[in-house]
Structure 1
Amino acid sequence: MSETNSLPNRMPLTIIQAAIDRILSAGVPPAKFHEPISNMAQSVKRMRRLTDQLLLFRKMQAGKLSVAVQPTDLPQFLKNIFLTFHEVAEQRKITAEFLPQSRHFHVPVDHDYIDKAVYNLLSNAFKYTPSGGIVTMKVKQNEQDSTVAIIVEDSGCGISKEKQKHLFDRYVTGKISSDSIGIGLNLTASLIEAHHGSISYCERNGGGSVFTLTIPANEDAYSQSERLQASAIQIQTSSAERNNTSLYKAMRAQPLNSQRILIVEDDNDVALLVQQEINELFYTDIASNASEALRKMESESYDLVITDMTMPKMSGLAMAKHIRQGVHNPHVPIIILTGKIDDDLKTKALLTGINVFMTKPFNAEQLRAHCVNLVKSSSSLVQPPSVQTERVISDNRQARFLSQLNQAIDAHIDDTTLNVDTLTEILKVSRSALNTKVRTLTGLSPAELIRSKRISQAKHLLRETDMSIGEIGNKVGMPSPQSFNATFKKITGLSPSEFRKGGVA
C-alpha cells in the first residue's frame, strides 16, 4: 500500500494507543476508565468499517459486488446515518440539515452498501466544510421515472475543475496528492451502480459540492437473486449499530491553567482525542484545517499550536511556515503530529521552526509533558524580565496545593503575625518544602507571596470601598501607616492615596 492509502489506518491506532495509555496510568475512581474505554470502542468500530471497505474494494476489483436489497423506510434509515455526525457538527459549529421529501416511504436497498456509500459522502462533506459552514442531506422521490435521489450538499472548499473529470475513477498507480479524495468516491460509485443507480457531482451555488445518488424506487429493478431472502441473516456494521453506541462524555472541569492551545487536525476523532488528553491542563480550540487555523490566529491569541502534518489544501508544515513568516504570533510554539516516519521530513520540520515532532501513535504522557514545557518556556520568553509570568500547573496535586495555600493566606490576611511559619503549620510542610513548592508554582518566595496578596487586597479595598487608608492597612495586616505606604509604593509605584485617585499601578 502507498503511504497515502495506509495513513487512514494509523488514525484508529492512535486513538486505541492513547486510550490504553490513559487506562494504564489512571487511578481511582473507576469512572476515569469510562471515556478511554468509549474511545477504544469507537475506534474498533472505525477500524472494522475501514476493513469492511477494503474488502468491498477487493470485491469491486474482482467484479463480484452484488446487492441483497430489502424494503426499507429510507428517510428513517438515512436519518440514523446523518445523526452519527451530530457531534462533529456541534464541535465544528456546522449547521447540519436533514430534509426528506416525506418522513416515511419504503425503497428496496442493500442496507450495508447504502450505509457505506452515504457515510462516505457525509464524512467527506463534514471533513471539508469549514467551521460555521453548512451540510445538508435531501431525499427526493421521482414518481415519473420511479427513482429516489439522495443529495448531499456542503459549503466546503469544492473540487477543482481538473479533478472533477476523474472524480469517480480509481487511482491505480502513482502518488495521490494530499488533498485528493482517494478511492472513497470510486467505491461509493460502485456501490450505487450495484443498485442499478448512478452518482453525479455538481458545484454548489455560492461554493461547495453537491453529490447526488440516484437509485431505483421499485423492487422490479432487481433480479430475484438480488433480493434479500426472508430466511437470510445479515451481519452488518450499519448506522443503527453506530447510532446505538452511547459514548460516555465526562463533564469537563475548568482547566488548571489559563493558557490556550489550538489543535489543527482534519480527522475529528483524533482532534477530540488530543483535546481530551490536554484539556485538563489548558483551554483548547479545534480547527479542521490549516486555513481555518490561520483565521483563528488572526483574532485569538494562542500559547501553543498542535497540528497534524497531512491535511487537505495546506499541510501542517506549510501552515507552520505561514505562522513563522506572519505577524500574528510568529513565535508561538508548534508541535507537529504525523503518521510518516521519515528522518528527512523531521529535519525539514525542525528547520521550519517546529518545536516538537511526534509520530503517531503518540504517547499521551509525552504529549502532555511537551505541552507543559513549551507553554512554560513561551510564557517566560514573551514577557520582559521585570514582569512576573504566570506559572503553568501540570497536575491536580499542584492545583490542590495552590488552592490550599491561597485559602490559608486569604483567611489570615488581616493577621499581622502571618508569616512563613504560619503557613508551614497550616499546610503541614517544612520550610524548605514550602519554599520550593511556592517558588515553583508562583515564582515568588512565601514571604513575597504573602506581601503580594496583602497589596492586591489593599488595591481592591482602595478602589471599591470608602474605608480610610489606615483602616485598609489594618484589614490587610499592615497596621503601621509608614510600613503600609512604603510597601504599597514599592510594589505598585504609587502611594495608596495616588492609587485611589485613579493612578494606574
Structure 2
Amino acid sequence: MDEFEIELKQSTLNELEDTLSDLIDYLQSNEFHLLDLDELFRAAHSLKGNSKAADFDSIAKVTHQLEDLLINRKDSSKEMTSKFYDLLLTYSEHIQSSIEQLKGDISLMPNLDELQNQIESFEDSTTEESSPKKAEVKGLKKLLLVDDDIDIYTIVNKYLNDKFEIDYVSNAVQAIEDCKLEDYDLIICDYKMPVMNGQEFALYLRQGSSKNKETPMIFLTAFSPKLFNQKSIWEEVFFMDKPIQKKKLQYYAKCALQSSYIKEKAS
C-alpha cells in the first residue's frame, strides 16, 4: 500500500467517524417514531460512498444493504418501529467497532457477516405498536473519572456534564473501591498514574467480580504504551490521545451509551 492510498484511507476514516457520530447523535436524540427515513438514508448513503471509495468493502457492502432496507421501508410507507430502531443501533455499533479496528490497522478487512445476516433476515411486525418510546437514556448517566491531574476533571466535566453525573478520584486504588459500590455507565481513566497504572486497573476490573466488569472505558494517554496481550481486557475500551478533543470525547461517550443500551436490550 503506497503512501497516497494510506493517506486516503486515513482521511476517509475520519470522515466515516464524523458521519457515524452524527448518525448516533440523531438516533439518540429522537424518539424512534419521529425518525426521518430521508435523514437516515442520507447518512447511510454517505457512509457507503466514502467507504467504497477507500476500498473498505465490508463496510460499503453492509451499508448498501441497510440503504436498500431504508428505501424499501420508505416505498412501502411503513411506520418506524422499535425493532427497526434497534437494528439501526446494532448497525452503528458494528460500524463504530470496524472504524476502531481500521484505525489500529488500516489494512484490515473487518468481518461484518453477522451484521449482514441480521439485515438480510430482518422482518418487522406490521402490528407492532409504534407509540412513543424513548430509547435514549433518561436522566444523567454515571461516569467515573480516574486521573491524578485535577485539570483533566475540569475539562471532562465541562464537555460531558450535560450527559453524566461525574465521580472523580485521583488514583486507581480509590477507583477500585468506588467500583465495588457503584455501577458506572462509563469509566474514563488516565494510563500513567502512581501506584497502579490504567491498564492494571482495567485488568483488575475485567478479570474480577466488580459491578463494572464490562463497563466501557476511555483510556487517556499522551504516548503509545505497551499493552497487555489479553484481548478480553480491551473489549469496550477506546483510546484517546491527550490533549483531549471535545468532539472526540463526546463521540466516544455516545458510543458507550449506545453499547450499554444494546446490551440491556439483549439481556
Which structure has the larger Rg over C-alpha atoms?
1
Q: Looking at both structures, which has the greater relative contact order when contacts are Cα pairs under 8 Å and sequence separation is at least 6?
A: 2
TM class by shorter chain equals 0.3 to 0.5
Query: TM-score, with normalisation over the residues of structure 2?
Result: 0.44
- Bigger helix share: 2
